[in-house]
Amino acid sequence: MGIGGTAKKLQKVAEMAEDVYARLNELREQLAEMRQTAQETRERIDRLETENAEQRALLEALAEQEGIDVEAVTANAHIHEAESDADDAASDSSEETADGAADAADADDSTGGN
């Protein structure tokens, strides 16, 4: 191999290195943006949690003035949510079972029931 071939290979390696360097810089910028976004999100969540705690305290104070048992209301809400989740899971399960039975029936039909 001559000097020209070696020069071409070195040029190709140099171009590849430049591409890798450029991509690395892009990734660094993306990482910095992601860190900034994560920090902003963390701060927003902290603010929302504080606001939520303040609102909960106000609601509990109002409920106490009205003679409402907050714990009982919360427990009932959790019960209804759990029942709803269980109904959804049972519905999804029965749909999957029905789909499986329909697929099996289709397979029997296509093979002549044998």
Is 101 inside a domain boundary? no
Is 71 inside a domain boundary? yes
Domain count, the chain: 1
Q: Residue 44's domain spans which residues?
A: 14-96
Is 5 inside a domain boundary? no
Is 78 inside a domain boundary? yes
Q: How far apart are CA 15 and CA 22, in angstroms?
A: 11
Q: Identify residue 92 by its one-letter amino acid code.
A: D
Is 105 inside a domain boundary? no
Residue count of the chain: 114
**Residue pointed to by tokens 């993306």:** 30
Quote the pLDDT of residue 66: 93
Is 113 inside a domain boundary? no
Quote the pLDDT of residue 76: 92
Is 18 inside a domain boundary? yes
Is 26 inside a domain boundary? yes
pLDDT in tens, the chain (114 residues): 577 788 899 999 999 999 999 999 999 999 999 999 999 999 999 999 999 999 999 999 999 999 999 899 999 999 999 998 888 888 877 766 666 655 656 656 655 555
